[in-house]
Amino acid sequence: ETGVTQTPRHLVMGMTNKKSLKCEQHLGHNAMYWYKQSAKKPLELMFVYNFKEQTENNSVPSRFSPECPNSSHLFLHLHTLQPEDSALYLCASSRRGLAGAQNEQFFGPGTRLTVL
Amino acid sequence: QQQVKQSPQSLIVQKGGISIINCAYENTAFDYFPWYQQFPGKGPALLIAIRPDVSEKKEGRFTISFNKSAKQFSLHIMDSQPGDSATYFCAASMGETGANNLFFGTGTRLTVIP
C-alpha cells in the first residue's frame, strides 16, 4: 500500500445527488492533490493544498468543492454533477518545501465515479 | 495546451523484448522527469525519475534516456515480463523547491505477451 487511502472505491450517483470523496494520507506529508483521470487524457490536476491552504484551482467547475481540514485529510464534495464528470478521481500527497527534494507524489487507489 | 506529449498510446511486446515509450516537452523550465506505473485498480506509482543534468538513469531493467537539446525523454524496459503489463505515464515538473505540480502525458498501455 502507498499510505494514501481513498473512500469509497466506487460511487454511482444521480445528477441531483450530493456526495463526498474522502482521502487520508499516513505519510506525514504536507501537500495533497486531487486529480481527475479520464480515458485517453492526461491526468488532470484539479486542486492542490499546501499546509492545508489551497494553492491551486485549475479552473474546476464549482460543482466540485474541496475541503482540507488538516494535513492528513482531504475531501472532494460533489453536487449536481454531469455525466461527463464520470471518471477515476485520484488523491495524492507529497512533501513540499524541501529544496532539491525528489518530487514524488504518492497516489491513492482512486474512486471510480459514475454519474447517471 | 498539453505540456507533455507521450507515444505510443498502446504497445504490445513479446516476453523478453524491449519496450520503449517516448515523451516530448516544450517548457525548458522543467527540471524533473518521472515515470509512473499504474496497474488496474491502483493509483500511479513512481517507477523511476531523472533530472536534466544526466543523460541516462538505470534502475534494474528500467532505463530513462534523456535528450535535453531535443526536449525528449524515453523509458526503456529491458527483458520485458508479463508482470510489466500496465499503463505508464511520463511527467514533468519545474522548480527547485520539491514536489511541485506534475504535468502528465496521456499514458501508454503496455501489454507483454508470454
Amino acid identity of residue A8, one-letter, is P
* CB proximity B96 to A under 8 Å: yes
The residue-averaged pLDDT of B40-47 equals: 93
Q: B96 pLDDT exceeds 60?
A: no
Which tens digits make up the pLDDT trace of A17-30? 899 999 999 999 88
pLDDT value for A39: 83
pLDDT (average), residues B95-105: 68
Query: Which residues of A fall within a CB distance of 8 Å from B107?
Result: 40, 42
pLDDT of residue A30: 87
Please list the residues that pair with B72 across neighbouring strands. B24, B67
Buried b (16+ CB within 10 A) or exposed e, A23-59: bbbeeebbbbbbbbbeeeebbbbbbbbbeeeeeeeee
Q: What is the pLDDT of residue A104?
A: 83
Per-residue pLDDT at A100: 52
What pLDDT does residue B38 have? 96
Using DSSP bridges, classify how beta strands B19-25 and B72-77 pair: parallel, antiparallel or unpaired. Answer: antiparallel
Interface check for B105 against chain A (CB to CB < 8 A): the answer is: yes
d(CA A87, CA A27): 26
| A58-83 confidence digits (pLDDT tens) | 789 999 999 999 989 999 999 999 99
User: Least CB-CB distance to B98: which of A2, A56, A100?
Assistant: A100
- What is the rounded average pLDDT of the residues B9-35? 95
Structure confidence at residue B99 as a pLDDT band (50, 70, 90):
very low
pLDDT (0 to 100) of residue B89: 96
Chain A contact for B44, CB < 8 A?
Answer: yes
Is the model's pLDDT at A97 over the cut of 80?
no
User: What count of other Cβ atoms lies within 10 Å of the Cβ of residue B41?
Assistant: 10
User: Is the separation of the CB atoms in B77 and B14 below 8 Å?
Assistant: no
DSSP class per residue in chain A: --SEEEE-SEEEE-TT-EEEEEEEE-S--SEEEEEEE-TTSPPEEEEEEETTEEEEE-S--TTEEEEEEETTEEEEEEES--GGG-EEEEEEEE--S-BT-----EE---EEEEE-
Position B81 scores a pLDDT of 98
**Pick among A4, A45, A105 to test the B interface (most B CBs inside 10 A):** A105
Q: Are B41 and A109 within 8 A, CB to CB?
A: yes
Q: How far is CA A10 from the centre of its chain?
A: 14
pLDDT at residue A99 greater than cutoff 60: no
pLDDT, mean of residues A4-13: 96
Q: If pLDDT is split at 50, 70 and 90, which confidence band does B100 have?
A: low
Residue A85 main-chain phi, psi, to 5 deg: -80, -5
A1 pLDDT tier (thresholds 50, 70, 90): confident
Per-residue confidence at A7, pLDDT binned at 50, 70, 90? very high
SS3 B21: strand
Per DSSP, the residues of B77-95 read ESS--GGG-EEEEEEEEE-
Which tens digits make up the pLDDT trace of A31-47? 899 999 998 788 899 99
Which grid cell sits at A66?
474541496
Q: Mean of the pLDDT values across residues B54-83?
A: 96
Q: What is the rounded average pLDDT of the residues A77-102?
A: 85
